[in-house]
Structure 1
């Protein structure tokens, strides 16, 4: 909302009923947004044009997508428009309305913040209406109250909404819903949680065809498609796409290191940026958010800040998803109150939680994507009229170049697309059991309903019937096991869940968030600190020390799936590692970096970041070449280890894994050979003790797409990759039960169970579509085959430049270091690098 303008705003008209009363019928044109305008006027605000557009569309009964800058007022745009319509339709004499609005958020922390935001106008305009919250954090007493009567407005998550659909009276309780808002739609659309949301919306539209659905987003590149995914292709009336363009200043700069040097590798500048980061925090007048990409890096930077400024203990905090809920809530409250000087966080604070005291954001390392960078920048100045500022903190020299490229990409609006998964059958299987619990279903009607969800628009009846049989008796191979007979057709012709044990297990397993098994971390003296993945704890011995939640802890023992610790007396420890995959460079970012490198290749250094990276880039040009959008750089080098090949497509680590495996397989086809592989976001390395023929590389034939799918599957242990992916699918589809509350199963048990199912299906049920899904997800998500094919085609359009190196170049050295890290200690790596760098300096000189 804008600050009060000089233009007069008409006062609340005497002819208009008081807030909460029943207004007379008015035309949609005259009525649209009047409630919102008057409520804002009482606060000295004036609505933006995009807010008025949303109010008008909602008054016309249209669904839609609102895409606007973070902190621009999206929440009140849709909320006040919906309140305006709801107040006009309020039933006379009824004080409390039944459930009318569902507000879906992707995070529990965001749910609490959203509830507070919705409460303000509701208290003024409809004080008798109720507002509630239903997430995994909701207390059992509150859930019990809601079970008796849902509030008028309910803020929830995709998982909790699916759980509501399992209730026997789901239709009676939810058919009164007239409006659904899906917040942060860009965060959900590309995941199975988004598919889960699509299916829930299809069910609600079945019960109320006039349902109005709105999505809110700040960072999406494919808006029309994103709106169709949310609202459905056949939505009537036609959905409205509203772009909220307001004058909000965004400043993106880089904390340029004083001497980046000629050579660099991942983490090379990390700790050297400690004091510059501390100085930036000291200069800030408000709170600073320090973002990292992974939880282990957050733990490290929290310790770096405390080492530099011990007196900041209590004034800075740590926030990530593995910390105890009470700790996270304490940090969030401190951010809102402005009590904290700085908070080191991961993506746990990415989304739209409103922290007004946050003045600026520091991003440690690359954000890897334009959308993520803009999302994090919007955490500062989170209000209309306030500037947002993000400072990028490179951890190696190529990230300095990447910082300049990211700023240029953001300035030109090059934001990544988000694609919805194509008909994941594990989510469909779960949904069939959910709907069977929620009053039952007719198969023909549900098939048509499911096909209205975007991700299942191409679902065939044969695929649906397979999922139905799989839920009924476990497919062809599990018929003899009653636990997998989850649904049965009753005398009424509807499918139900007949077994109470199956029903209980299903309700405990609803959702598509699949993470590695974790253990609670508890003090011997009592109190929970958070959760750590079981694999990390399994590597610890009694007395080992590690940093967690900003504390140095000593491991004591494991008991009842909990790791017991005490405060350590030593001064050093390791840092936990989490199995979440590293973020990969997006296509948009990769292209932007190559364009920035082309500027340097032309001898121009207009940006401060390029000037800082100039020594490294000039050394690269002297020893090799600088890659550009029109040139594919390939480097060859011989060492005591054997023959090295470096390829620099700038396509991101996931694509490079597939490319490296593909190239190694093709090069070894004529003459058997063994390759070691190393990858990063900019390129990959192949190294072999035996020499190999470079002719297919030199003429480009090794990079031709050809029979890509066959070659990729042949080049990888695809069955192992598919089996690993199948573990997640088996858990979503309900084949594996993770345990009752307080009695979780260990990761070893879950892996053994999923492996057993995988082998049984492969041997006795080759037509099992969950196996097919596992193979497809490996190709589409882990190896990104479509992007891999596009990368090969683009590589074919570039002029290939093969350079014979005497020593590793600045761009090949990081790939060598990545490989060394896996087999050398820190001390060995340091001495090895010292020797390599001396040789490189001598050669460069």
Structure 2
């Protein structure tokens, strides 16, 4: 009898899969093998990770198996297909919550909802599909509080908020599956750690829960899968799509190649070629690496082609949601010719009309270029095309290196964070608010999350003390006793604490934002508080594609009016500069080695050949295992140029480290310049380095005593104090304020700095202090990557060359240093004179 039932179930599921394939056929599609593999793995009760290129059909791979199971469970095992225009199921008639779809971006939620609902309605399932994010209306939230939909699209933050409901466990009783979209974007971040903890909680409530993740660009799939399904999962599946999707990578080459380049020297010089590319395509996405550049390029395009007004738009994360949604609608409907954007359009949203992507400036990472290329041809079988636009001649080498990396499948890995205790502290209070917990049970649950698999008993004991008493330094203050233990069960200390905690759930901590709004009109978006603090009434700035005049700052809002004909400034946002990734820097060194051997096979490499050959004549092109140091003297002083090609963050750490170690030999002061290729140390006195004294040169780059020397070479305490603001906010020490009455960035920094000083003095073993110090070294200087660079340098060759004049590789470093001292006009004039002087040399 059992065998008959098992066979009947198998037959029902096979019939359901046939219905699913019928939906595919109705769309004019044919399922791929990886999609069928994912459906069957889901129906077998397994969890897994689906890895496929952007636009290959990952959403259908994850979703249709879920729907096939629901179809198979219908009363007679089959259901007549309904037309797509079928009336939607009423909330009270639908099954309770069965599926959670977690997305990293609220902007993806609406598009995802539509994509998930279409097959549900066509297949005739009586399901409700809704979304719950920070943008969800109050009325829909109230309906969901009474009864959740069958399938809910949400974010990590909103999921954690739901886990804090007192009846959370009962609300998730029917949950069978969690699908995490764009898992590669969460992995390696505190939001990813937050998601891991939430998944561990859901798995404890539902041991048979299936968890699936979707990823497009990731180099360490095994680790990504383990982090997704947890430490206790068995028989998880890695589903890979055929990677034959065509990706076309081209570059726009400048008509004239300057042999002494500098960052940004091309930039808008390439505008005519960019306009030609836009005109030749139906719809183009133009990616820049910063929001400031987005504003500049948008204005430049419209000034050059005013007849395109209304056909060109811009999109970045600081714009008001209504502005962004209007642009997204214009893309989906094919009404826009071009959109200038940042990473705000990197992920997930399906803009089928887009047939070309422009990347302005180096993407700095292989995965990022792949992700952006996938915005074009965003449908199975269509090629993705990206055209790279250099802002710096040497970026052409990076474009060629990125193409090689993609061809060879070298994609950056993203490693999960290791025990971020601020995130865990927040989660513990969330669980205490969501019904409470017993210590040993929650500890086992937390250790099932990959990020916390090595959490020690001592660390857990410290954390419980922190949330129940405030730790050693704050135990006298009742407001920090957020959790109480009664009869072995930990619960929040009161409803007011629970409510305040729910307002603070989340790990996204940025610079304090100021709303930008017309005096008599709509809100345009937000800029950072530090930018607004420097504005004076009457000054103008570019924002949201408009020239605005600043009127006043009031009620956390910069009130503005339209301006005409005035000279603007462009807002700057923190974190705009992305360092060169490990994979890209490695292959860039290989491309330089090919150039050293006279091999210029790519059109980009052929274009920069005059520059690289001049570098070789006046100094040399370093070999892959060689550190090149150039020494020169100018009117400014004595220059040392180092070229490890390890990315801006690592080079910053190297510059501080080498300067400190040189200063220990004899007192000397330096000014710095840093880019992705190397760093400059400028001093008034000559540095006594001998090319023949290899032991002394190697000592400068020894990995021994790295942590101590870095701490001594940087203002480590001040850097950690600033980093502690994020940790204090996430861990619940600092409250940002009630909605509409948020504290300013200065107030938050002052509060977190006070905690930092108190802990440093009265609780120096506080684990959050140690976390702040680790995060400074890893985030700002990529300490682990810095250590690997020192290992490589210490094992390889070090070459010191005295040059008569700065070389093409050194010139960009000199300009970067001068950029901080001169206005734009004065800088350009100075650069032209230097170029003429060095060309003659």
Q: Same fold (TM over 0.5)?
A: yes
Q: CA deviation at 1:684?
A: 0.6
TM-score normalised to structure 1 length: 0.95
1:529 to 524, 533, 552: 524
2:498 to 498, 503, 526: 503
CA distance in 2, matches of 1:38, 1:831: 67
Aligned position for 1:615: 610
Aligned position for 2:192: 194
1:35/1:83 contact within 8 Å kept: no
Aligned position for 1:649: 644
Aligned position for 1:516: 511
Which whole-Å deviations, capped at 9, do the CAs of 1:586-623 have from their partners, x for residues lacking one?
A: 01101111111112111222211112111211111121
Q: CA deviation at 1:692?
A: 2.0
1:556/1:565 contact within 8 Å kept: yes
1:24/1:88 contact within 8 Å kept: no
Q: CA deviation at 1:461?
A: 1.4
- Between 89-98 and 800-809, the greater mean CA deviation after superposition: 89-98
Q: How does 1:699-710 map to 2 (within 5 A)?
A: 699-710=697-708
Count of residue pairs brought into register by the alignment: 818
CA distance in 2, matches of 1:92, 1:724: 62
Q: CA deviation at 1:74?
A: 0.7
Aligned position for 1:224: 222
1:649/1:682 contact within 8 Å kept: yes
Q: Secondary structure at the match of 1:195?
A: helix
Q: Secondary structure at the match of 2:335?
A: coil
Q: Secondary structure at the match of 1:685?
A: strand
1:321 to 302, 317, 320: 317
Aligned position for 1:42: 26
Distance 1:90 1:514, change over 3 A: farther
CA distance in 1, matches of 2:701, 2:13: 60
Q: Secondary structure at the match of 1:353?
A: coil
2:729 to 731, 740, 755: 731
2:65 to 81, 87, 105: 81
Find out whether 1:288 has 2:272 as its counterpart.
Answer: no
Aligned position for 2:344: 348
Which whole-Å deviations, capped at 9, do the CAs of 1:385-415 have from their partners, x for residues lacking one?
A: 1111000000011001111111111111110
Aligned position for 2:593: 598
Q: Secondary structure at the match of 1:252?
A: strand
2:156/2:195 contact within 8 Å kept: yes
CA distance in 2, matches of 1:171, 1:108: 25
Q: Secondary structure at the match of 2:394?
A: helix
1:251 to 237, 248, 264: 248
Q: CA deviation at 1:683?
A: 0.6
TM-score normalised to structure 2 length: 0.95
Find out whether 1:412 has 2:396 as its counterpart.
Answer: no
Query: Structure 1: which 5+ residue stretches go unaligned?
Result: 1-22
2:13/2:68 contact within 8 Å kept: no
Which whole-Å deviations, capped at 9, do the CAs of 1:275-302 have from their partners, x for residues lacking one?
A: 1101110111x21000001100100110
CA distance in 1, matches of 2:758, 2:602: 59
CA distance in 2, matches of 1:824, 1:100: 61
Q: CA deviation at 1:581?
A: 4.2
Aligned position for 2:818: 820
Q: How does 1:354-373 map to 2 (within 5 A)?
A: 354-373=350-369
Find out whether 1:575 has 2:570 as its counterpart.
Answer: yes
Q: Secondary structure at the match of 1:389?
A: strand
Which whole-Å deviations, capped at 9, do the CAs of 1:309-356 have from their partners, x for residues lacking one?
A: 111111100000000000000000000000000000000000010000
Which whole-Å deviations, capped at 9, do the CAs of 1:153-184 have from their partners, x for residues lacking one?
A: 00000000000001011000013110000000
Q: Secondary structure at the match of 1:329?
A: helix
Aligned position for 1:637: 632
1:523/1:564 contact within 8 Å kept: yes
- Between 463-472 and 365-374, the greater mean CA deviation after superposition: 463-472
Q: Secondary structure at the match of 2:217?
A: coil
Aligned position for 1:15: none
Q: How does 1:371-450 map to 2 (within 5 A)?
A: 371-450=367-446
Aligned position for 2:88: none
1:104/1:182 contact within 8 Å kept: yes
Find out whether 1:68 has 2:68 as its counterpart.
Answer: no
Find out whether 1:278 has 2:262 as its counterpart.
Answer: no
CA distance in 2, matches of 1:596, 1:429: 46
Aligned position for 1:489: 485
1:28/1:59 contact within 8 Å kept: no
Q: Secondary structure at the match of 1:358?
A: coil
Q: CA deviation at 1:42?
A: 3.4
- Between 783-792 and 345-354, the greater mean CA deviation after superposition: 783-792
Which whole-Å deviations, capped at 9, do the CAs of 1:208-267 have from their partners, x for residues lacking one?
A: 00000011001000001110010113203x100111015321100101111121110100
Q: Secondary structure at the match of 2:257?
A: coil
1:28/1:60 contact within 8 Å kept: no
Which whole-Å deviations, capped at 9, do the CAs of 1:97-132 have from their partners, x for residues lacking one?
A: 110000000001111111110001100224421111
1:29/1:56 contact within 8 Å kept: no
1:299 to 287, 295, 301: 295
Q: Secondary structure at the match of 1:629?
A: coil
Find out whether 1:479 has 2:475 as its counterpart.
Answer: yes
Which whole-Å deviations, capped at 9, do the CAs of 1:474-508 have from their partners, x for residues lacking one?
A: 111112222211111134x3111122222221111
Find out whether 1:557 has 2:562 as its counterpart.
Answer: no
CA distance in 1, matches of 2:208, 2:601: 55
Distance 1:303 1:542, change over 3 A: same
Aligned position for 1:810: 808
CA distance in 1, matches of 2:19, 2:416: 36
1:32/1:81 contact within 8 Å kept: no
Q: CA deviation at 1:95?
A: 4.6
Aligned position for 1:16: none
Q: CA deviation at 1:32?
A: 7.8
2:38 to 54, 63, 66: 54
Q: How does 1:712-791 map to 2 (within 5 A)?
A: 712-791=710-789
Aligned position for 1:308: 304
1:635/1:804 contact within 8 Å kept: yes
Q: Secondary structure at the match of 1:46?
A: coil
Aligned position for 1:163: 161
Distance 1:28 1:716, change over 3 A: farther
CA distance in 2, matches of 1:288, 1:733: 42
Distance 1:211 1:90, change over 3 A: farther
- Between 135-144 and 482-491, the greater mean CA deviation after superposition: 482-491
Aligned position for 1:185: 183
1:556/1:566 contact within 8 Å kept: yes
Q: Secondary structure at the match of 1:276?
A: helix
Q: Secondary structure at the match of 2:608?
A: helix
CA distance in 2, matches of 1:471, 1:80: 42
Q: CA deviation at 1:30?
A: 4.5
